[in-house]
Structure 1
Amino acid sequence: MKFSASASASLALTALASVSAKPINLRRTWPMPQYQPQDMAGMGSSNSNSNNNVMNMDHSSNSNSNNTMAQLNPHCANDTANGGNGNFPGALYFMTNEPDGSNLVIHGINNDGTLTFTGVLPIGGVGSKEVTDPVDVDPLGSQASVKVSGNSIFIANAGSSTVSMFNIDPNDPINPTMAGFPISSGGEFPISLTVSKKSGQVCVVNTGAVNGISCYTSDPKLGLTPVPNTIRSLNLDQTTPPSAPINTASQVVFTDDGQRLLVSVKGNPGFVASWDVNEDGSLSPDFVKNTPSDGGLLSGLSNIGKSKDIPALVITDAALGVNVFKFDDNQVKSKASNTPLPIDGQNGISWAEFSPVTGNFYVTDKGTATLTEIAVADDLKASVVGQTKLIENSATIDLEIATIGDKDFAYVMAPNAGVINVLDLQSPGKVVKIEDKDFCQSLSKAGVKFDPVNIQAMNAFFVGVL
């Protein structure tokens, strides 16, 4: 089932009405859920001795292995160019987000940036979707529900309100293994994750009836452990699943210096919640609300970086284009100032990522299926460099940028077309499409249950060129 390109704009315009907000008591318990391997019809038997139950794409199980590995799908045996005997310089991950059991979908990244489908594995949780009218793609309304950091993958399971962790072998990134067990997200309907570059602390934002922040330490054997004094509410008046888009969280990020934890919230107006992060990882009791001067459907958060000398972010806004938020570096708890950049013709600006090679940001538009390139000068003034038109009505949402050798490649999820757009970011202003990778065909041939409307997230691990 496909949805019109104007669906996102209709949702945004309908949602921009008066909104009430009242405090919610954020109840907090930490039950350790029992991990139940998913029994996928047609995918072969599960390994009763396995903690991970990674799906064998050759439909067999390895009874002698503690970690059954995902094998190359035999239906895609001719799709192994440039990887070299299954060795890849990187891997791309997204999830099926199915309500009866979510799977991580894995593609190897080849040296030329193209993708090879290699398998799926159960995440250990279930997916869900926000309540929208009409039904829309981008079911969690978020970025980074799958987050790669270092040699780890963290996944938000919206339907089971848990977080899963997997380890990545740098020499074999297409075969991640589960660390510990899925753990409570500390709220309801988790949708986005972030990892501090400073401390490695992991935080998740929930946007259901019980909404707010929870944080963890991570260990490759034990998995995730809650960090004391990090349970903080957003005080959003919501349900589980949430009614979207107004009054829902979009993304959580640490600033590059690790001193602030930020959450973008869609609203009328929207805002960015900012907590101070203490040396022990605990958070300030209350957040500072940063409200933009224009727009309100705040979505993606992308750090501009310390090269600009002050903490600042590019923030996408489905009602406007983008905003540049700047914090006072001398006052950790100060409010941010913002400078809006309207994007002409936008019809549902979604998410943003930064390219180290070009030095620019790239923003998806769900309504127009366009990738917009944005430059941010040293004075933090933003400007549009160029736009790349992708497949019409494909509803481009999540994206990721991976550096392979000295090149950056952009991967854009287009669920209405059932493909991942692969683009070579050759230089500022020059974007070349190299592939539309059909994930629908690969998953269907593998016997994986999925609906393209439920597909969510896009994150990559990369080590260079092999």
Structure 2
Amino acid sequence: MKLSVQSVLLSLALAYCSSATILPRWGKTLEMNSCKGEASGAAYFMTNEPTGNYIIASDIGSDGKLNPRRAVYTSGLGGHANNGGGGDGTISQGAVAVNAASKLLAAVNPGSHTISVFSFDSSNPTDLRLVGAPIASGGEFPTSVSFSKDGKMLCALNGGEVNGIRCFQVSSNSISPLSSTQRSLNLNQTTPETGPPGSVSQIFVAPDGMNASDPGYLAVWDIDSSNSTSPTLSKDFRRISAPSGGQNLFGLVPVKGQQALAVADPAVGYNIIDLSGQNRSASYAVDGQMAICWVAYSEKTGNYYFIDAGADRVTEVAVDGSLKGSTVNNHAVGNNTGPLDPSVATIDGTDYLYVLAAASTEVSVMKLNGAGQTKNVQKLDIIGPASFVGLPVNATNLQGMATYTK
């Protein structure tokens, strides 16, 4: 059974410019492109290679399209779960996370059991600078990371034989473990983790608390913030039942303006889980779905975008004020693209959806013109620029997707 751990506080066309000098294959920063045009933000994902994990950072242009700029070494190793050798090597959402308030990026290194944190400047967000050295994740095979809203705390989820969560105090020049934040899930797991059944999937930090879920319950750790310099977690988690019909909880996002979660469920479609005590939780089947595992939210359309790796599509869902979900439309990503992690970025008043199409070694960029209206505007080739600088990239290892906008 899928165990999904979240932290919730509650309550193509690729245009190349002239290339920079190619650095050694395992240089700490590989310059993929010397274009220095005005960028509205950046998008990030990781190679997750067992020989060395790199973050590929791309500029986001004013038209929402991506221009790959750099591959930056995490100083750690990627890793692949025991999941039959297919894609989604970490069996997770949130392998890479960005916090706009602190200008920090974090990534997991499953193969070396560490977390890497980078700082960046808003004027050049693809110029990532490693903060200190990678830090031990507090367990084995870390799969997901999440920042607190202010960016001063980072929490990591471990899915291996030593599994559970650990939180850290972070800044642009330091990262250190927070005492009394390491908590075990006591799962019977392996290193690398084995799944998807029985594996963890996501950690998520929201304003007031911390949650974890599996098919049947949400496990909630409260955060004691009485000492703002050293938050601690409650010793035990409490359980909140999943809605009837829900089976395999995976990626999640908060429901806007509600004490609720929109949660991907590869067995049926998705779940809306009410945490307000009003008993409005429900499970929703999506016709033709095969593996809905990831989800992102658009402020501009007000809808939720569930990623289906098996059906190669995005299912757009509306959630009303009573927490009732309904399918708005299905958007094709492309045959045999294997879409995984998504992220939404707002550029000049328009939202764009960025989806890591791992199987086709691309990033799919979709312009969200309004509710139910999505236009594919770019298929960013990954192999081309990676090969140009000698960077190994394999479809089965690629993972993560996060964006930053100015």
Relative to the length of structure 1, the TM-score reads 0.78
2:208 corresponds to 1:259: yes
How far, CA to CA, are the matches of 1:161 and 1:139 in structure 2? 14
Q: CA deviation at 1:329?
A: 6.8
Deviations 1:225-284 (A, max 9, x none): 1111111111211010111111111101123xx22212344xxx4543211111132111
> Residue 370 of structure 1: CA displacement?
0.7
Instruction: Spell out, residue by residue over 1:2-30, the C-alpha distance to the aligned partner (whole angstroms, 9 max, x if none).
Output: xxxxxxxxxxxxx79xx9xxxxxxxxxxx
Q: Is the 8 A contact 2:261 2:273 kept in 1?
A: yes
Aligned to 2:33: 73
Query: Which residue number corresponds to residue 450 of structure 1?
Result: 393
Q: Does 1:154 align with 2:106?
A: yes
Per the alignment, residue 24 of structure 1 pairs with: none
Which has the larger Rg?
A: 1
Equivalent residues in 2 for 1:260-299 (5 A)? 260-265=209-214, 269=215, 271-279=217-225, 280=227, 281-292=231-242, 293-299=244-250
Whole-Å separation in 1 of the counterparts to 2:307 and 2:265: 11
| 2:90 paired residue number | 140
Q: CA deviation at 1:338?
A: 2.5
| Structure 2 residue 164 is matched with structure 1 residue 212 | yes
Match for residue 122 of structure 1? Answer: 73
After TM superposition, which residue ranges in structure 1, 4 or more long, deviate above 6 angstroms? none
Match of 1:314 in 2: 262
Q: Pick the structure with more strand per residue.
A: 2
Greater RCO (Cα-Cα under 8 Å, separation 6 or more): 2
Alignment of 1:301-450 (within 5 A): 301-305=252-256, 307-308=257-258, 311-328=259-276, 338-450=281-393
AA aligned opposite 1:230? T
CA distance in 1: counterparts of 2:295 and 2:62, whole angstroms: 24
Q: Which residues of 2 match residues 54-203 of structure 1 at below 5 A?
A: 54-55=29-30, 57=31, 72-73=32-33, 85-133=36-84, 135-150=85-100, 151-197=103-149, 200-203=152-155
Instruction: Please state if 1:43 is matched with 2:23.
Output: yes
CA distance in structure 2 between the aligned counterparts of 1:435 and 1:206, rounded to whole angstroms: 34
Point out where structure 2 has 5 or more consecutive residues left out of the alignment: 4-21
TM-score by length of 2: 0.90
Report the Cα distance in structure 2 between the residues aligned to 1:238 and 1:299, rounded to whole angstroms. 17
Count of paired positions: 381
Amino acid at match of 2:33: N
Deviation of residue 200 (structure 1)? 3.3
SS of 2:340 mapped into structure 1: coil
Kindly indicate whether the alpha-carbon contact (under 8 Å) linking 1:87 and 1:172 is maintained by their aligned counterparts in 2: no
8 Å contact from structure 2 (residues 260, 276) kept in 1:
no
Q: Give the aligned CA root-mean-square deviation in angstroms.
A: 2.0
Q: 1:202, CA displacement in angstroms?
A: 1.1
Q: For residue 216 of structure 1, what is the amino acid of its counterpart?
A: F
Contact 1:397 1:413 in 2 (8 A): yes
CA distance in 2, matches of 1:452, 1:338: 36
SS state of the match for residue 387, structure 1? strand
The more displaced of 291-300 and 364-373 is 291-300
Distance 1:116 1:251, change over 3 A: same
Distance 1:149 1:195 in 2: 6
Q: Percent identity?
A: 33
1:64-97 residue CA offsets vs partner (Å, 9 max, x unmatched): xxxxxxxx536xxxxx5xxxx3331111111000
Are 1:366 and 1:397, in contact at CA under 8 Å, matched by a contact in 2? yes
